[in-house]
Amino acid sequence: MSEGSGHLCSCRACQTADPVRDAPSGRRADIAIIASSGALLAAGLIARYLTPYPVFWEVLILAAAILSGHRILMSGFASLLRLRFDMSVLISIAAIGAFFVGHGEEGAAVLFLYFVAVFLEDSAVRRAHRSIGSLLELAPDTAAVRRGGVEEIVHVHAVSVGETVLVRPGDRIPLDGRVTSGISSVNQAPITGESMPVTKRPGDEVYAGTHNEEGYLEVRVEKRDTESMIARIAALVEEAQSRRSKTEAFIDRFSRHYTPAVIFLAFAIMALPPLLFGLPLADSFYRALILLVIACPCALALSTPVSMISGITSAARSGVLIKGRDYLESVAEAKAVVFDKTGTLTAGRPEVTDVVGYAGFDEADILGIAAALESRSGHPIAEAILRHAALRGIERQEVSEFVSIPGMGLRGRVGGILYLVGNRRIFAAPDADIWQAAYDRFEDEGKTVILVGSEDRILGLIALMDAVKEDAQPTIAYLRSRGVRTVMLTGDNGRVAAATAARLGLDEYHAGLLPEEKVQAVERLMAQNGHVTMVGDGVNDAPALARASVGIAMGGIGSDTAVGTADIVLMDDRISQVRHLIELSERTMAVVKQNVALSIIVKTSFAALAFPGFVTLWMAVAIGDMGLSFAVIANALRIARTSPSAGE
């Protein structure tokens, strides 16, 4: 908070530059101060009633006040010189004023309780940050590197991109990279939130701080330690925690008018009763001091930022990176949620769904022929057929006279017989009587159909489709149950888009779109519905992600574009995290409203009781301000324990 904002609160969560909070005393020194000043204050209060010598207990009370309050008094004096009426000024005036009107024990109690409350607030906010800081501690400081055929143990700072690190069973992977040798299960929970280990083979990416469970891996380093995914997560979350939400901005604007009004009211309470009704000036001055302490909007100012930090922390632990408090606040406001298809609602790779054989050829025969020819191809369809054949236990046959015909398919001899695999065009004049009905049915279902045959006839069909993610349909159903419009935007053809939309129960879809056309579609939906959230893979969807009210990128672990463009990044591919985000946003805003309501009720009640003199200065601090502030923080920290719904 800038000095010119006029904000009354100087709590650590509100003003990180406050000299009281940033003094290099250390937590152990603060604990020693609390213990010592508390003992002095208690001894002084006891001595007041047990000794006939006032000087004795007054010295103890004064020592307690100086020990626990010297930093706040110096800060208050510095703020007063700059005409910055923050909490340190109000507490200093209240404490010194209490000594002047003969209530030194209350002045000492004000300073002591304020010091304790600051310590507790600081501890509470540290808890919200701790899970993010612990991420960086997961990555080891050293790495085993192969240099010149010899293994060396070096600090991770000294490892260059392109070098090979050796990761043994039980080790944590030191740097982001790609497996070049070995197979192992890796626990990626700190990065993606996945509960089960993931099998890593040559060519797969691995991330610093993840745990190698069982096998030996050799990893080619692709990023320096300062550029690793775990470092980027920590940096982006810290940035998010520093950005204010709309609610916080409103409270800041409100405080600029609130501050001078409170000071004027306190002055009126001090001056008018003696002038108009002849009341003692000391009593009016004391009640004005109480009002200044009660009126400080410390708890109100804390109600939003600590809640937002807790929400961002909770999301990060679940594998969701939120890049600003305002996005957490507004994600539940969506009237429409727009999805990309490939890589978002679907797995992004084709899977074999149907195999049909004719003319005496069964499914195994058709798969065996296709797998033999496709083994010479690197196309995604070839990979899908080979995976399916392997799952069926079909042995791969030798191929001779292999030829790849671009745009049509493959041909070659399997078992001495010439076969063809591809689309219609690779066959001269295929007889459509037997297979045409199945072919049309598969295409109507949005599937890609591969024909398998000899030179003169079709022997079978293989249908493939981009598999819908298991959690996509429940997520769509949840959104629709909330009255949220669900829309799919895809560059895929209309038939495939229609089949996917029908399977998922989407409200509408638009197919064959270029990236700029997706932006136009998002703009139309925003004009119709207001707040629109876009969920995409973060690459070809980047313009639409940037244009939407909130952009959510899927698969952030593999996409720099996703991390750079989107407002929220899902570190794995679970579309169900969208539901978790909405529920987390709603819970966070509910806690904010609870805290704001509690702050207003308590402050108003104490202010009303201060006028007739029912509230003392130490009560105003212990309950009406610092106690309330800590209650607000404790309530906010509950958000950090929010977990994804069991239904996900």
Measured CA to CA, the distance from residue 597 to residue 434 in angstroms comes to 73
**Better pLDDT: 51 or 437:** 437
- The reply to whether 22 belongs to the active site is no
Report pLDDT for 108: 83
- Strand-pairing partners, residue 534, are 338, 551
Whether residue 485 is predicted with pLDDT greater than 80 in this model: the reply is: yes
Distance CA 115, CA 626 (A): 9
Angle (CA) 608-610-612 rounded to 5° is 90
What is the residue-wise DSSP string for 337-393?
A: EEEEIIIIIEEEEEEEEEEEE-TT--HHHHHHHHHHHHTT--SHHHHHHHHHHHHTT
- What local confidence, expressed as pLDDT, does residue 643 receive? 67
| Whether 373 contacts 421, CB under 8 Å | yes
Q: Report how far residue 448's alpha carbon sits from residue 351's, in angstroms, rounded to the nearest whole number.
A: 10
Instruction: Tell me where in the chain the CATH 2.70.150.10 domain(s) lie.
Output: 142-227
Instruction: Please tell us whether the domain made up of 142-227 is placed in CATH 2.70.150.10.
Output: yes
Query: Who contacts 17 (Cβ-Cβ below 8 Å, separation ≥6)?
Result: none
Domain with CATH 3.40.1110.10 in the chain: 347-468
Task: Read off φ and ψ for residue 329, nearest 5 degrees.
Answer: -70, -35
Query: Is residue 142 a contact partner of residue 156, using CB atoms and an 8 Å limit?
Result: yes
- Flag whether pLDDT at 215 surpasses 70: yes
- Which 8-state DSSP code applies to residue 220? E
Lowest-pLDDT range, 343-347, 381-385, 637-641? 637-641
- DSSP per-residue codes, 34-102: HHHHHHHHHHHHHHHHH-S-HHHHHHHHHHHHHHHHHHHHHHHHHHHHTT---HHHHHHHHHHHHHHTT
pLDDT surpassing 50 at residue 6: no
Helix and strand numbers (H, E) in the chain are: 23, 22
Coarse DSSP helix, strand, coil percentages of the chain, rounded to the nearest 5 percent: 55, 20, 25
What crossing angle do the helices spanning 104-138 and 305-317 adopt, rounded to 10°? 20
Distance CA(490)–CA(509), nearest Å, equals 8
Contact 530, 165 (CB under 8 A): no
Closest of 112, 205, 11 to residue 618, by C-alpha: 112
Residue 639 neighbours by CB under 8 Å, 6+ apart = 307, 310, 311, 314, 584, 587, 588, 591
Q: Rounded to whole angstroms, how far apart are CA atoms 388 and 352?
A: 6
Question: Which of 252-256, 440-444, 514-518 has the least mean pLDDT?
Answer: 252-256
Give the Cα separation of 272 and 217 in Å (integer).
Answer: 80
**pLDDT (average), residues 32-52:** 87
Residue in 340, 492, 572, 625 annotated catalytic: 340
Cβ atoms of 212 and 171 within 8 Å: the answer is yes
> CB–CB of 357/460 below 8 Å?
yes
pLDDT per residue as tens digits for the range 9-18: 444 434 433 3
At 564 the pLDDT is 66
Q: Is the pLDDT of residue 189 over 70?
A: no
For residue 511, report the phi and psi dihedrals to the nearest 5 degrees.
Answer: -115, 165
More confident residue, 537 or 35: 35
Is the pLDDT at 418 greater than 90? The verdict is yes
The CATH H-level (homologous superfamily) assignment of domain 317-342+470-584 is HAD superfamily/HAD-like (3.40.50.1000)
Highest mean pLDDT, choosing among 208-222, 532-546, 621-635: 208-222
Selection from 241, 243, 252, 242 nearest residue 8 by Cα: 252
- Domain(s) of CATH 3.40.50.1000: residues in the chain: 317-342+470-584
Of the chain, the percentage scoring pLDDT greater than 90 comes to 28
Q: Which of 356-360, 387-391, 406-410 has the lowest mean pLDDT?
A: 406-410
Confidence category of residue 4, pLDDT binned at 50, 70, 90:
very low
pLDDT at 548 over 60: yes
Average pLDDT estimate for 17-45: 72
Q: State the Cα–Cα distance between residues 381 and 11, nearest whole angstrom.
A: 60
Mean of the per-residue pLDDT values of the chain: 80
Instruction: Judge whether 20 and 10 are in contact, CB under 8 Å.
Output: yes
Tens of pLDDT, residue by residue over 594-632, are 988 888 888 788 878 877 778 877 787 678 766 787 788
Cα atoms in the 13 Å half-sphere on the side-chain side of 173: 37
Mean pLDDT, range 557-586, rounded to an integer: 79
Burial class of residue 416 in the structure, from the number of CB atoms within 10 Å of its CB (0-12 exposed, 13-18 middle, 19+ buried)? exposed
For the domain 347-468, what is the CATH code?
A: 3.40.1110.10
Query: Side chain identity at 500, as an amino acid letter?
Result: T
Q: How confident is the model over 228-285, as pLDDT tens digits?
A: 777 766 665 555 445 555 655 565 566 556 656 777 777 887 888 888 877 788 788 8
Residue that the structure tokens 């969920």 belong to? 535
- Residue type, position 574, single letter: R
Residue bearing the bigger pLDDT, 251 or 77 = 77
SS3 585: helix
Which residues have CB under 8 Å from 635's CB, separation 6+?
Answer: 591, 594, 595, 598
Secondary structure string (H, E, C) spanning 148-160: CCEEEEEEHHHCC
What pLDDT, on a 0 to 100 scale, did the predictor assign at position 18? 39
User: Which phi and psi (to 5°) does residue 216 adopt?
Assistant: -95, 130
* Amino acid 459: pLDDT: 92
What is the pLDDT averaged over residues 385-400?
91
Q: What is the DSSP letter of 486?
A: E
Residue 135 pLDDT: 54
CA distance 421 to 408: 8
Question: Is the CB of residue 165 less than 8 Å from the CB of residue 142?
Answer: no
Q: How far is the C-alpha of 295 from the C-alpha of 117, rounded, in Å?
A: 17
Q: For 111-128, how does the pLDDT look when each residue is reduced to its tens digit (9 = 90+)?
A: 887 787 677 666 655 654
Kindly tell me if the per-residue pLDDT of 508 is higher than 80.
yes
Residues 558, 140, 572: CA angle, nearest 5 degrees: 25
